[in-house]
Amino acid sequence: GAGVSQSPSNKVTEKGKDVELRCDPISGHTALYWYRQRLGQGLEFLIYFQGNSAPDKSGLPSDRFSAERTGESVSTLTIQRTQQEDSAVYLCASSLRGQGPGATNEKLFFGSGTQLSVL
């Protein structure tokens, strides 16, 4: 597709269940990011992939959160044993970043997000 695609668009789950969120970046984009956006707030960085490696995982809030990327394409964010405070929109972005950390003109393209509700 032409843009970043995320699925599902909405996910309702019960506390304690595991969830998987998927991101299909723009084809050829080397960098992929996951962010969390709580209601009415800004974006909270979770993890950054360059290719299939994750040089920056500093934003993952706990060991219940993990992410992987395969084929330098699709990424999956997994939340285990979900809790109510995990309720948020999870946004994925991709870019052509290829100049290492600090590429000043990097342009992020965002998907529409997955709205996660934990009951």
Partner 1 sequence: TQLLEQSPQFLSIQEGENLTVYCNSSSVFSSLQWYRQEPGEGPVLLVTVVTGGEVKKLKRLTFQFGDARKDSSLHITAAQPGDTGLYLCAGRPYGQNFVFGPGTRLSVLP
Residues engaged in binding partner 1 (CB under 8 A): 4, 33, 35, 40-45, 48, 56, 91, 93, 101-102, 104-113
Beta carbon of residue 95, minimum distance to partner 1 (angstroms, whole number): 10
Neighbouring residues of 116: CB distance < 8 A, sequence distance ≥ 6: 11, 13, 19, 21, 79, 82, 86, 87, 88, 89, 90
Question: Which residue number, 84 or 105, has a Cβ lying nearer to partner 1?
Answer: 105
Q: CA angle 46-6-47, nearest 5°?
A: 15
Distance separating alpha carbons of residues 3 and 57, to the nearest angstrom: 24
Beta carbon of residue 42, minimum distance to partner 1 (angstroms, whole number): 4
Question: Which residue number, 35 or 65, has a Cβ lying nearer to partner 1?
Answer: 35
Beta carbon of residue 29, minimum distance to partner 1 (angstroms, whole number): 14
